[in-house]
A = this chain, B = another copy of it.
Amino acid sequence: MVNKDEIRESVLKVAQEIFTRFGFHKTTMDDIARGMGKGKSSIYYYFNSKEDIFRAVVEKELGDLRNKIISSVSEAKGPKEKLKAYVIERMQGLRNLVNLFNVLRTEFITQRDFTDQIRMKTDEEEINIVRSILDEGVLDRIFHLEDTFLTAVAIVTALKGMEVPLVVSQVNKESHLEMTLDRLLDVLFYGILKR
């Protein structure tokens, strides 16, 4: 037997592609099944519903992004580089997930609880990550700030504010992203770096 979890994973991989491409409503369970080269009931053997799959996809992608951010941050040397790594990795990762989150936003409006839940959980995690970077920076006397928690909240909020233009305009996202990234880093470091 091929491990059940592995098949679950590959279902999610297939589903993620199709959901990203076609959205929630235009994706059918038969599409996913066909993408797996299996019958529909096989899919229902691993998942309870279409919505379950979508939620699992979102959570998986979010988790993957989180892991990537954490590993990239931990590899960077020094708080300043770490903060930069966090911002870059977060923006890059988001760029890949724009479509998926667009689906979440536009087709799951009724499901406020799920969207909120996702947001709250990720917000808390992100704030913690940023805060620990800031703490390290303060300890090393590289960052100069009064309250690392509030600053972390501010940074994460600022980045979240950038999701909107990223999500809304998919046309010129690349140029927009490149332009704003340096400026964003400047702004962030301007208020934080000891001069």
Residues of A in contact with B (beta carbons under 8 Å apart): 22, 26
Q: Which residue of B lies closest to A23 (CB)?
A: B22
Cα distance A22–B26 in the bound complex, in angstroms: 8
3 A-B residue pairings within 8 Å (CB atoms) = A22-B22, A22-B26, A26-B26
Cα distance A101–B67 in the bound complex, in angstroms: 39
Chain B residue contacts of A22, Cβ below 8 A: 22, 26
Q: How far is the CB of A102 from chain B (nearest CB, A)?
A: 13
> Top 3 nearest A-B pairs by Cβ distance?
A26-B26, A22-B26, A22-B22
Q: How far is the CB of A30 from chain B (nearest CB, A)?
A: 11
Cα distance A77–B26 in the bound complex, in angstroms: 49
Q: How far is the CB of A178 from chain B (nearest CB, A)?
A: 19
Q: How far is the CB of A54 from chain B (nearest CB, A)?
A: 17
Cα distance A26–B26 in the bound complex, in angstroms: 6
